[in-house]
Amino acid sequence: MTKIALLGAAGQIGTPLSLLCKASDLFDEISLYDIVHAPGIATDLNHIDTRAKVSGHLAEDGGLQKALARADIVVVTAGIARKPGMTRDDNVAGFLDLFKTNASIIRDLFTEVAKTCPQAICCVVTNPVNSTVPVAAETLRQGGTYDPTRLFGVTTLDVVRASTFIAHALGGGADPKSFKVPVIGGHSGATILPLYSHAVPKLCIDSAKLAQVIHSELLLPIYFDLKLMTSSLYAGVQFGGDEIVESKKGAGSATTCMAYAGFRFIKALIQAKSGTPVVEEAYVYLPGIQDGKEIAARLGVDYFAVKVELGPNGATKVFDIGSLSDGEEKLLGVALKDLKANIQAGHAFMGL
Ligand code: NAD
Ligand code: LMR
């Protein structure tokens, strides 16, 4: 019996992610939780001819507890997404504080996870991931159930983008999936560090073009309006999220590609649960996972996205980041500075 609980299931990521889970035949039970619409979405999904039984829950009548009961995997996409011009943790003149809103949602949901399904493997999609994962970790710790091997910040979208964008840049109809590019660091702007020097197969690309693929900032929306967008004007991996936010003009951020990426991570967890170890990148608490202490000490941060080996009960070990090119070393320095501030923000929210 495998049960997954999706929290924030009625959202723009939650709904397509629920569909991918239901269509996959990987689950016996799927529970959807949201403050709106979840029961109706569950009824809709239950007309699909796969074996998973889908239930939908709202906050009333212990809905969250019911959704989490006996869950093996919990995926959290509950929260608000940013609007054009905002960062993932913006506070727009005190009117929309993305960070505080999402951090509060994460704290409240994980308070219940600690009580109801302390053994579950938990995946945090809600932004700002660099800070919401420390918030989730501290909430679980206060609930007495924190195990760093079972808490992941989902950074798979960065990995998907790193393959996709290099294939686009190289042109010639290259299949994005044929490029494996590790992405380390965190999940926002300069903290996202794709390691193209480690790409498989080895890349042959000039350095100016590669710099664009990594961190070309999004050009002004006017380029979209004037339809001047060409491949050289695409945002790089570090700013891929901004490209979608601007393109959607206030209607949201990455949703379908995020559901795709989130489902890739869920599939990896399920495969690992059935006894085949899988390696995926994720944002984790390094000192709590085998081989992570040395990496954390060297980098000077505890939370970091790295390659993680997944086993039946979560992370079994992390892999060293290896040697970097000179350019990547410089980008790592910038990433670490931002990341420290993001982790600190999460800790400060939890009163640490
Ligand atoms: P959305 O607004 O469409 O959906 C969010 C859902 O959360 C809504 O249905 C809302 O009702 C629900 N919700 C709000 N408060 C809740 C609570 N207390 N309990 C349960 N549900 C609650 O947003 P979205 O586009 O689905 O994005 C969700 C989050 O994912 C955002 O924070 C976004 O920035 C983030 N995101 C992360 C990544 C990543 O790579 N990690 C990628 C894309 C988006
Ligand atoms: C992304 O990378 O697309 C997400 O984190 C959403 C965002 O706000 O950019």
pLDDT recorded at residue 93: 54
- CA pair distance 234, 328, nearest whole angstrom: 21
Residue 290 to residues 72, 282, 287, Cα–Cα distance (Å): 22, 15, 8
More confident residue, 118 or 217: 118
Q: Tell me the H-state helices in the chain.
A: 14-24, 38-45, 63-68, 98-116, 129-142, 156-170, 207-215, 222-225, 240-247, 256-273, 292-299, 326-349
Quick one: average pLDDT of 177-185? 97
Q: What is the pLDDT of residues 122-160, one digit of tens each?
A: 999 999 999 999 999 999 999 999 999 999 999 999 999
Q: Which pair of tokens denotes residue 42? A: 């569950």
DSSP-based three-state secondary structure for 219: coil
Co-location of 143 and 164 in the same domain: no
Closest residue by CA, ligand 1 atom 2: 80
- pLDDT mean across residues, the chain: 93
* Contact between 160 and 265 (Cβ < 8 Å): no
Quick one: average pLDDT of 184-200? 97
pLDDT recorded at residue 233: 54
Co-location of 150 and 184 in the same domain: no
DSSP-based three-state secondary structure for 152: strand
Considering 87-101, 173-187, 235-249, the range whose residues carry the highest mean pLDDT is 173-187
Given a cut of 60, whether residue 224 has pLDDT beyond it is no
Q: Is the CB of 167 under 6 A from ligand 1?
A: no
* Residue 5: strand pairing partners: 31, 74
pLDDT band at 83 (very low <50, low <70, confident <90, very high): confident
- CA pair distance 177, 335, nearest whole angstrom: 26
Co-location of 125 and 18 in the same domain: yes
Co-location of 214 and 264 in the same domain: yes
Beta carbons within 10 angstroms of residue 238's beta carbon: 26
Co-location of 14 and 127 in the same domain: yes
Whole-angstrom Cα Rg for the chain? 19
Quick one: average pLDDT of 300-328? 97
pLDDT recorded at residue 229: 44
Q: Which helix (H) or strand (E) holds 76?
A: strand 73-76
Co-location of 208 and 346 in the same domain: yes
Q: Is the CB of 154 under 6 A from ligand 2?
A: no
What's the whole-model pTM score? 0.96
Q: Which pair of tokens denotes residue 177? A: 């999936």
pLDDT band at 294 (very low <50, low <70, confident <90, very high): very high
Given a cut of 60, whether residue 334 has pLDDT beyond it is yes
Pairing outcome for strands 96-97 and 278-285: unpaired
Q: How far is residue 88 CA from its own chain's centroid?
A: 12
* Contact between 137 and 110 (Cβ < 8 Å): no
> Among residues 102, 127, 154, which one ends one of the domains?
154
Looking from the CA of residue 9, the nearest atom of ligand 1 is 9
Encode 88-105: b = buried (16+ Cβ within 10 Å), e = exposed: bbeeeeeeebbbeebbeb
Q: Is the CB of 245 under 6 A from ligand 2?
A: yes
Q: Which pair of tokens denotes residue 270? A: 């399920």
Distance 252 CA to ligand 2 centre (A): 9
Ligand number nearest CA of 64 is: 1
We report the CATH number of the domain holding residue 60 as 3.40.50.720
Sequence ranges of the binding site for substrate? 82, 88, 127, 161
Given a cut of 90, whether residue 97 has pLDDT beyond it is no
Q: What is the pLDDT of residues 55-76, one digit of tens each?
A: 999 999 999 999 999 999 999 9
**How many domains, in total, are found in the chain?**
2
Given a cut of 80, whether residue 48 has pLDDT beyond it is yes
Residue 168: domain span: 155-352
pLDDT recorded at residue 275: 95
Given a cut of 90, whether residue 85 has pLDDT beyond it is no
Co-location of 321 and 255 in the same domain: yes
Q: Is the CB of 191 under 6 A from ligand 2?
A: no
We report the CATH number of the domain holding residue 286 as 3.90.110.10
Looking from the CA of residue 242, the nearest atom of ligand 2 is 9
Q: ∠ CA 284-289-295 to the nearest 5 degrees?
A: 75
Distance 127 CA to ligand 1 centre (A): 8
Q: Is the CB of 161 under 6 A from ligand 1?
A: no
Q: With a threshold of 0.90, tell me whether the complex ipTM lies above it.
A: yes
Co-location of 149 and 173 in the same domain: no
Q: Which pair of tokens denotes residue 264? A: 């890739």
Composition of the chain by helix, strand, coil, percent to 5? 50, 15, 35
> Among residues 133, 154, 175, which one ends one of the domains?
154
Q: Which helix (H) or strand (E) holds 13?
A: none
Quick one: average pLDDT of 112-129? 98
Beta carbons within 10 angstroms of residue 334's beta carbon: 16
Given a cut of 70, whether residue 234 has pLDDT beyond it is no
Lowest mean pLDDT among 87-101, 232-246, 261-275: 87-101
Quick one: average pLDDT of 215-244? 64
- CA pair distance 102, 128, nearest whole angstrom: 8
187 noted as active-site residue: yes
> Among residues 132, 154, 176, which one ends one of the domains?
154
Query: Which residue is listed with tokens 């993001």?
Result: 342
